[in-house]
Amino acid sequence: MIIKFTKILFIFLLLSGNLIAKTNYFSEGLEYFKKKNFDKAKFKFEQDIVFNPKSEKSYLYLSKIFNSQEKDELEEKNLNTVILLNPKNEEATYNLATLKLRQSDFEESKDLVDKLLVFCVNYCKKGQNLKIKLENSLKK
């Protein structure tokens, strides 16, 4: 009887764990993000990261939330995580270069823009514009 109960309990826990894992926290977070409900979006993206620690998109959207809240340190941390997971993530590289420029870290911003321009597909024009803005800042 106890063995049968243990088996049933084990199967129940296994199935409920799969249901939790199948919940798409990223999609829920994205919906909250679009509605500018950043607290709920942040929570959902963090939940997604718990179940999927390599969720590049969740880290990227967390960085966007921190950008809107002007929390540079947290934005930078999440952008660096995105780049660690995918060194060719154009949006994260561009956003980090922009952040570094805003922080007057011209050398780091220049390095990031140069890297971006090597592998860019969608952010080439933005990268070129940022490079011009950076060069103009260095001339001042």
The boundaries of the domain holding residue 65 are 23-86
Same domain, 97 and 77: no
Same domain, 103 and 75: no
Percentage of the chain surpassing pLDDT 90? 78
Nearest Cα residue to 54 out of 86, 20, 91: 86
Please report the pLDDT score of residue 12 as a whole number.
61
Q: What is the arithmetic mean of pLDDT over 113-117?
A: 96
Neighbouring residues of 121: CB distance < 8 A, sequence distance ≥ 6: 90
The structural domain count of the chain equals: 2
Same domain, 79 and 28: yes
Confidence of residue 22 (pLDDT cuts 50, 70, 90): low
Buried b (16+ CB within 10 A) or exposed e, 9-34: eeeeeeeeeeeeeeeebbebbbebbe
Give the distance, in angstroms, between the CA of residue 9 and the centroid of all CA atoms in the same chain.
Answer: 37
pLDDT digits over 34-86, tens only?
999 999 999 999 999 999 999 999 999 999 999 999 999 999 999 999 999 99
Domain boundary among 51, 68, 86: 86
Same domain, 80 and 46: yes
Query: Is residue 82 in a domain?
Result: yes
Same domain, 82 and 27: yes
